[in-house]
Structure 1
Amino acid sequence: MIPVIISGGPGSRLWPVSRSARPKQFTKLPSMSQTLFKETIGRVSDKKIFDDPIVICNVEHRFLVAEQLRELDVASQLILEPFGKSTAPAVALAAMTAIEKTNFKDKLLLVLPSDHQILDKCALDLAIKHAADLAMNGKLVTFGIAARTPETGFGYLQKGVPLSEQGFEVEKFIEKPDKRDAEKYALDDNFFWNSGMFVFSSDTYLSELARFAPLMTSACHKVFASLEQTDDFKHIDAGIFEGCPAGSIDYTIMEKTELAAMVPLDAGWSDLGSWQALWEAQKKDENNNAVIGDVVLENVCNSYVQSSRRLVGVVGLENVVIVETSDAVLVADKSNAQAVKKIVDVLSKKNRNEVKASQKETRPWGSFETLFSGDGYKVKRIEVMPGGALSLQSHKYREEHWTVLSGSAWVECETEQFSLDCNESTFIPKGSKHRLSNNIDEPLMVIEVQVGEYLEEDDIERFEDAYGRI
């Protein structure tokens, strides 16, 4: 069985922690020992059951994905989308990749979103086994989560007649219901939340896709034929992909096919898709508050309060979400936490950087974190992994000052080359070609002070780059 990990979602309902440059699946959320992406990969690490995964992600996240896979020592096929077209085309490309890789059309695929929490792996493994039995008999299988509470943010499915001890036909799929219907479904054992996880064979999936979405299928074949392999990545051609229709697996296939089946899953599942969901997943204090970071509460109950850098004090509130980051603060009624996405939409229309970039950003050579910024200056902490090197580059609008905090830096600036050790500094003039490298076996930590009239990341002209970013 080949795991197919879908990693393209922006996680906008967990703003301001989740940003488009580093969405929730790549961020270590409170009380979690590792990221949701790493947890997802960990669920399919048993080589007796699973082949190496196929990971589909946005091209902007390729180095985040590659680094987290490297930390887990997991090999994979990475397919890079220039933009999202929802899940149906993404999984079609994964199915074609699986057939090409194994030369076996009936190879089973396990499709998993990378941003779900599942607490009981044993229960998941058992449900996957039941789903695999159905899929080997030509079914397209999804997993249904018992609808414990009325949720208007989830799709639902209704269980049909039994196909096996733990497998059932799907009577019908239901789009996100209104509150009245959601309350009715929560009281009926035949209704389940639609998990967005699937098991089916590559051939069955592609056959049903061709039946119900021939234009999408044709476009996916053209995209697959044009995939460009570079190093660890398969790149999708943006021009060809633009012509591919968009659509989810549910809407494109599952709601129309006679082959839809479901397996109930009771494994402590959550999509962690809102601050309400994250509050539910946390330990609470005596007043039912989830508290993370430097927080002081007085007469507060049923709330989620998170501080990342500054002290947060809250008095006399209930049922609220308060999330502080270094560049943004969210205050919301917890019962309306799904509407955070509307804030993100407004900020996106205004092209606000707080939607895109997190304070800490990953690069193939390491990472950087913005510590302070103001009119005409910005201060960053840069970490370069052993053997890592920034591109040979120049800036039109800014100059830089580098001070080494730990490790040893190798600096190139125009015709000069020299090393900098701890507590040593250098100046990079505006317009000069320069590069920072780490040639030793320990991490390099540098404070960079930028000064200039324009300090955004697109003020970079690259001349050489070890990671193919020119």
Structure 2
Amino acid sequence: MKNPSIFVPIILSGGTGSRLWPVSREMHPKPFVKLADGQSLLQKVFLRAHYLPNVTEIITITNKEYYFKSKMEYEKNVWHEILPHSFLLEPCARNTAPAIALAVLRILAIHGPDAVLLILPADHLIENQDAFLQACQQAFSLAKINKIVTLGILPASLETGFGYIECGDSLGEGYQVAAFIEKPTAELAEMYLQSKKYLWNAGMFCCKAGVMFQELKQHAPDLLQAAELCWERSQKNNTDFIELDEASFALLPTISIDYAVMEKSQEVAVIAAHFDWQDIGSWEAYKKLHQADSNGNTILGDAILIDSQDNFIHSEDRMIASIGINNLAIVDTPDALLITQRGRTQDVRQIVQKLKENAHESYLTHRTVTRPWGSYAVLETSAFYKIKRIVVKPQHSLSLQLHQYRSEHWVVVEGMANVINGEQEYVLKTNESTFVPMKTPHRLSNPLDSDLIIIEVQTGSYLGEDDITRLEDVYGRMKE
């Protein structure tokens, strides 16, 4: 970028990625899905933003339930402490327009109307950082003359699952947008591919904060007014995050920025980006990231396939064996197994909807759940008992809490635990245990520099995770 005064990448990390179930869950959405190199999509977009020149700060907009998980993803990057970054935490999903409106208000309040923002979805994969930088430089030049500049992708294949942008008059660095087009038929997509006038809509764009504010004011005044009310009522006394006011946020409409502004504005331009871009929106798209064997099978994990061709196998733990299967996608996790024809992977969201309707936990969480203090895995459960493996990170502790409907037995299997149990405080070493009665305040802490691992057996009339009354919490979760 050429001497920008203020430049702020904004990472949109929302959505559930339901078509990547069972790896993606509502509490473990697509941005947290790991790729072959071990990095998540969220880590990759954070690094992509960090490597841009002259960045002032990075803002991530995400659900409040993902805050600690997102922070832990960023902390895996060696650069996370070098560049300022903060979070806007949403209480619920309201699509991209409300998120962007609130980000604009945040930037206006801190940096003023000439600050340039770059919107980056967290669930996209971009391979070529140099080409991405070049596209951002082109977009920045047009943004400085008060354009809203979207990054279009030159189509590499016939795609009916993407939206398209029609290029209009040339603007030197890019084009005036002639039209935004919804997901087309195969015949139209073929015509767009041959035409060279149509680009994939990647959902990335660059503009001044003041320009977006004026376009929201003109084209979505009710949304902007509701966003201003939410911003006014939100607490802003934390340097790491702003938790958006729940009651006023709920009044915001659920609408995308394309519908609210981009399709109505006369100030939208597009540049033709030349980097390798992929929206990993299904298991078929995920499969294309990996090399197939001589039989066309793509295998991630342990599998033995006999007389089987053109399959996608993803196994986290168990061995998968098959005989005589073709063109299937099989995705196995510890608590759920997906089997589908490869041509139907876009329909996996229908499975997720059925699971939600049936209140089945596998739509919501994995068997192993991340917490700011560590993680827990449910090993076995029934109506009146649940067995967990709890891992507490070094120098971390759970909240001081109590439960109304369950008691707990703890056995230390590795490490040492500091325990508060009612009025008592004591130490548990490996192979030692304790009992915590229901309605008794208790806390588990790890004083060592290695993991603490315990087995917890819960018994009671109700074993839901919402039966927690927090009395003290170092992670700021007292309102939950």
Name the TM-score, length of structure 2 as normaliser.
0.93
Partner Cα distance (1:106, 1:155) in 2: 30
Partner of 1:77: 86
Count of residue pairs the alignment pairs up: 467
Q: Deviation string for 1:269-298 (max 9, x for gaps)?
A: 111111011011112111222111121111
The answer for unaligned runs of 5 or more in structure 1 is: none
Which residue of structure 2 aligns with residue 243 of structure 1?
A: 251
Shift of residue 80 of structure 1?
0.9
1:177 matched to which residue of 2?
Answer: 184
Which one of 9, 13, 18 corresponds to residue 12 of structure 1?
18
Mapped partners of 1:333, 1:186: distance in 2: 27
Q: 1:34 aligns with which of 20, 39, 44?
A: 39
Give the aligned residue type for 1:89. Answer: P
Take 1:428 and 1:24, find their aligned partners in 2: how far apart are those partners? 37
Q: Structure 1 residues 34, 183: CA separation in 2 closer, same or farther (over 3 Å shift)?
A: same
Whole-Å Cα distance in 1 between the matches of residues 131 and 433 of structure 2? 55
Deviations 1:290-316 (A, max 9, x none): 111121111222221111122211222
CA distance in 2, matches of 1:403, 1:159: 65
Match of 1:384 in 2: 392
* Aligned equivalent of 1:65: 70
Q: Distance in 1 between matches of 2:277 and 2:68?
A: 28
CA RMSD of aligned residues (A): 1.7
Q: Which amino acid aligns with 2:96?
A: T
- Residues 408, 458 of structure 2: 8 Å contact kept: yes
| CA-to-aligned-CA distance 1:19-59 (integer Å, 9 cap, x gap) | 01111212324x13211111110011137421221111011
Find the aligned partners of 2:144 and 2:186 in 1 and give their Cα distance: 37
Out of 426, 441, 457, the residue aligned to residue 434 of structure 2 is: 426
Amino acid of the residue matched to residue 11 of structure 1?
G
Tell me by how many angstroms 1:461 deviates.
2.1
Report the 3-state secondary structure (helix = DSSP H, G, I; strand = E; otherwise coil) of the residue aligned with 1:19.
Answer: coil
Report the equivalent of 1:463. 471
- Mapped partners of 1:212, 1:105: distance in 2: 18
Does residue 1:93 correspond to 2:102, yes or no? yes
What is the 5 A alignment of 1:20-169? 20-29=26-35, 31-46=36-51, 48-72=53-77, 73-74=80-81, 75-102=84-111, 104-164=112-172, 166-169=173-176
Q: Distance in 2 between matches of 1:261 and 1:47?
A: 21
1:364 Cα deviation after fit? 1.9
* Matching residue's letter, 1:311: M
Output the CA distance in 1 between the equivalents of 2:291 and 2:453. Answer: 35
Identity of aligned residues (%): 39
Cα 1:303–1:97 shift into 2, 3 Å: same
Instruction: Measure the CA separation in 1 of the matches of 2:196 and 2:378.
Output: 50
Q: Secondary structure at the match of 1:10?
A: coil
Partner residue of 1:370? Answer: 378
Structure 2 residue 425 is matched with structure 1 residue 417: yes
Aligned counterparts of 1:435 and 1:271: Cα–Cα separation in 2? 43
Shift of 1:155: 0.8
> 1:92: how far off?
1.2
Taking the TM superposition and a 5 Å limit, the aligned residue runs for 1:218-229 are 218-229=225-236
Query: Separation in 2 of the partners of 1:291 and 1:397?
Result: 44
1:206 matched residue in structure 2: 213
1:313 aligns with 2:321: yes
- What is the aligned partner in structure 1 of residue 4 from structure 2? none
Quick check: 2:12–2:61 contact (8 Å CA) kept in 1?
yes
Ranges in structure 2 where 5+ consecutive residues have no aligned partner: 1-6
The change in CA–CA distance for 1:229 and 1:66 in structure 2 (over 3 A counts) is farther
Deviates further, 78-87 or 426-435: 426-435
